[in-house]
Structure 1
């Protein structure tokens, strides 16, 4: 509360007439036409006593002294109300602080600097206490009185408009604030970004982020936001490029962001790179080793035609809750990799777990046994597969072929 102490000290200085009237910057500015005054002698003595108690950290005593006063004229009343508002604010009793500061502001007869400081403190406390409409009005009164425009004031007005979901007004005041700053203000840019997001103007949000990222290159969050907004606007090449650059700079720190990078890489055709990045962070523990992750990783390896790894991860995913469909998929990958002996027990497990269409596993078993020249088993499985509507046609087309192979090799079916 150092600012409050400075303001309180300025209040006391005005008693002695030492407060300096601000230099005239604009002839018609209200603050320049407002003369500083001093309180009456009786009130002045009490104020001095209260301020001494305040300096000795006896805030309750200082407030009690001020409350005893019964000023006779309007200026003295406003002056006492202002001091009480300052004291209550420093004590953390904001409802009382606002009550007295409002009385001082509404009186509108304090000296120029005193009235300006009171208006500003009152505005700041209003926004702190979530009285946003009143805060906006009060800040504009401060600007009208002082003829000053400050980026920080527009930022606070923007915060109030944001809380009221007045997004067009947020954009207006954010731009006004940015026009006043000497160096880029991240908060004002973020305010614009939030406004465009809530207005669902994602392409405008992208433009804001494209401005912010070069200005605040070390902010990891901005890189991720830009990549995400590129996704939202379906600019997949730029999204991937941004995610990839962020990854190389160590800015992707969540499982979700690593997963999105892997997905975008895979969509582009970089399936192996996607698999290796995903696998690395899964082994490190950033990405949880669960069924969903194993399936995703298996899919990346499958698309990369790395069949050994794909089969391994489909198997791990299937084992978590004994998923028959995933065992079927694992078996097919093993068969595709010509690992027929390993594929057979996997297909049998899928069958034992009650796969939805048993004929699918039966037909795959027929093909595996056929590849191993196990014609009797192949015939048996093909016959069983022919009874399933989903595989009947394919199975029947193989039965005669299996019979012929068995005849050539003198195998009794």
Structure 2
């Protein structure tokens, strides 16, 4: 499990403004009939502005734009005001670059009043953001901060810009600023904070953030998966196990990888029974050799002898060496008949002296003295020891005594 970040499709895109919002930012303009002050439109400009505004309300953007483009004036305020209005109309008409140029001129002219400057700066920054020009957007959002006109939405978009620019420490700082205005973080803000914490390897903080995301979206499998991943990175296997268990209770479907991980975590925590039961949920639980062997080991550790034998026998059908594991289990249960059957299925070339002595013991315990003697002599060829000599001598005498009866 790992956290994947995609800056272009991260929670930024779904919060960038739409046309209706930008158009709403163009509030009722101070259109006057005659020039009385520096921040009032001249009479001729005001008339054209009014006419352009009327065209825009009728959906006649081309005519509105042409009318504003035809305005020729030497007055600085008129130029700034017209540029501001043109910027909005260009943007509504999908002329993005032209809209940016006009709004930027209006802002940087310094000829708009304070309220108009603030509104136009917001529009320009939002337009840069929607056009994925994050450095430029950030610059104008920070102007709003420096002039004391930043609200929670400004900090949201500053955070989005930093996130897209992969400036992770700045993402965390801007989230903190946002919280001074809006203490409750939504999924978009928490997601960006999580991305920054992950990139900066702030695992403890990321774990807390994921806890908040799970509270908001308990059915989102991604948050559960990422929390498990982080808890494993923190070497907190018990916590990772709890998270996976809770996610299952929440109804989150586990992938095959996650099922294996859950089984591994159960085993790490000393719960072999749950580990084996979890591995049994895998699609290849009875077809993949490694998985079969692991289940057999776990069932055996859980002292579920019957089930352990079944899995060892299943493994033995694919590789004869596992007949030894079957035999060992039967021997531990003093089921010597079954142990001998398993031992006799081990290929000759795979036999060892230990296996041969197991065959000796099994044959002897089942009163097959001649067979036990045969196995004892064979064991002696593997390794001549005091034990092997003892078994040969003892069994030879027992066979002789039985034949005399």
1:161-176 alignment, distance < 5 Å: 161-176=162-177
Residue of structure 2 equivalent to 1:29? none
Residue of structure 1 equivalent to 2:329? 336
Taking a change above 3 Å as real, the CA distance of residues 3 and 208 of structure 1, as seen in their structure-2 partners, is: closer
Taking a change above 3 Å as real, the CA distance of residues 141 and 335 of structure 1, as seen in their structure-2 partners, is: same
Q: Do residues 160 (structure 1) and 161 (structure 2) align?
A: yes
Taking a change above 3 Å as real, the CA distance of residues 265 and 13 of structure 1, as seen in their structure-2 partners, is: same
Taking a change above 3 Å as real, the CA distance of residues 165 and 299 of structure 1, as seen in their structure-2 partners, is: farther
Q: 1:80 aligns with which of 76, 79, 82?
A: 82
Shift of 1:398: 6.5
Shift of 1:161: 2.1
Are the aligned partners of 2:171 and 2:196 in contact in 1 as well (CA < 8 Å)? yes
Q: Do residues 371 (structure 1) and 362 (structure 2) align?
A: yes
Taking a change above 3 Å as real, the CA distance of residues 310 and 5 of structure 1, as seen in their structure-2 partners, is: same
Unaligned runs of 5+ in 1: 19-34, 353-357, 387-391
Residue of structure 2 equivalent to 1:27? none
Are the aligned partners of 1:7 and 1:117 in contact in 2 as well (CA < 8 Å)? no
User: Alignment partner of 2:346: what SS?
Assistant: helix
- TM-score, normalised via structure 1 length: 0.72
User: Alignment partner of 2:29: what SS?
Assistant: helix
Shift of 1:14: 0.4
**Counterpart Cα distance in 1 of 2:46 and 2:205:** 57
Residue of structure 2 equivalent to 1:21? none
Residue of structure 1 equivalent to 2:399? 409
**Counterpart Cα distance in 2 of 1:194 and 1:72:** 50
Taking a change above 3 Å as real, the CA distance of residues 193 and 77 of structure 1, as seen in their structure-2 partners, is: same
Q: Do residues 14 (structure 1) and 20 (structure 2) align?
A: no
Shift of 1:272: 0.8
Residue of structure 1 equivalent to 2:91? 89
Residue of structure 2 equivalent to 1:298? 296
Greater RCO, CA 8 A, separation 6+: 2
User: Alignment partner of 1:16: what SS?
Assistant: coil
**Counterpart Cα distance in 1 of 2:44 and 2:356:** 106
**Counterpart Cα distance in 1 of 2:286 and 2:43:** 75
User: Alignment partner of 1:14: what SS?
Assistant: coil
Residue of structure 1 equivalent to 2:11? none
Shift of 1:141: 0.9
Taking a change above 3 Å as real, the CA distance of residues 114 and 332 of structure 1, as seen in their structure-2 partners, is: same
**Coordinate RMSD, CA, aligned:** 4.0
**Counterpart Cα distance in 1 of 2:311 and 2:121:** 66
Taking a change above 3 Å as real, the CA distance of residues 278 and 39 of structure 1, as seen in their structure-2 partners, is: farther
**Counterpart Cα distance in 2 of 1:201 and 1:9:** 41
Range with bigger deviation, 129-138 or 215-224: 215-224
1:378-393 alignment, distance < 5 Å: 378=375, 382=379, 386=382
- TM-score, normalised via structure 2 length: 0.73
Report the count of equivalent residues: 371
Taking a change above 3 Å as real, the CA distance of residues 303 and 96 of structure 1, as seen in their structure-2 partners, is: farther
**Counterpart Cα distance in 1 of 2:38 and 2:263:** 68
User: Alignment partner of 1:72: what SS?
Assistant: coil
Taking a change above 3 Å as real, the CA distance of residues 307 and 401 of structure 1, as seen in their structure-2 partners, is: farther
Unaligned runs of 5+ in 2: 1-15
Q: Do residues 230 (structure 1) and 239 (structure 2) align?
A: no
Residue of structure 1 equivalent to 2:9? none
**Counterpart Cα distance in 1 of 2:253 and 2:271:** 19
Shift of 1:91: 3.9
Q: Do residues 205 (structure 1) and 198 (structure 2) align?
A: no
Shift of 1:199: 1.8
Shift of 1:174: 1.0
Residue of structure 2 equivalent to 1:28? none
